[in-house]
Amino acid sequence: MPDAPQTPPLHFATIDEAIDTMRERGLRLSTARRLVLEGLFAADGPVSAHQLARDIAIDTTSVYRNLELLESLGAVRHVHLAHGAGLYVLAGRQQSEYLYCEHCSHVTAVAVEDLDPIRDLIKAQFGFDARFTHFAIVGTCSRCAAQEAAVDTPHRGHRLPAPARS
């Protein structure tokens, strides 16, 4: 698993700005690198290297190589939503942290500042500065929680059997 770089995120609104930034930093803009950037700009959220490779029709190794380079520059970051491989997003374009439902795999993007009260609580309680940019917060979404509550709630007029005595 690659290390999460501490490089400040680069901010750009368009692919042309991203390309200009790459060139200003002395990078050659290869076809593969341009396709990776285009794929990231087209993605609705975090995307795997394998999905990106399929979408832009280049080999996965080339995609990983370019993602690692772009991440070292601060243009891309990766996030882990569950047990699978890391997913990639443009670092300065999508300032989100993520909530991941371990039951239905639903992902909710959350503005960074919306989790500041949780960070403040962790800081006050444990003296720890928490970040949620690399790993998602895993739990149960409201829809799955409601479904679980409906299954666990006995229907009116029906009694649950008494627990067995030991």
Residue for token pair 């917060």: 137
Name the residue with higher pLDDT: 163 or 55.
55
Burial class (CB in 10 A: 0-12, 13-18, 19+), 7: middle
Distance between CA 111 and CA 133 in Å, rounded? 11
Of the listed ranges 5-14, 24-33, 103-112, 135-144, the least confidently predicted one is 5-14
Pick the CATH number of 96-152 from 3.30.1490.190, 2.60.40.10, 3.20.20.220, 3.40.190.10: 3.30.1490.190
What distance in Å separates the CA atoms of residue 93 and residue 47, rounded to the nearest whole number? 14
Domain boundaries, the chain: 15-90, 96-152
Question: Is the pLDDT at 161 greater than 70, yes or no?
Answer: no
Judge whether residue 70 has pLDDT over 90: yes
Tokens 């990106």 sit on residue: 52
Residue 149 binned pLDDT confidence (cut-offs 50, 70, 90): confident
Domain 15-90 sits in CATH 3.40.50.300: no
The span from the CA of 81 to the CA of 88, in Å, is 11
Q: Range with the lowest mean pLDDT among 24-28, 122-126, 155-159? A: 155-159
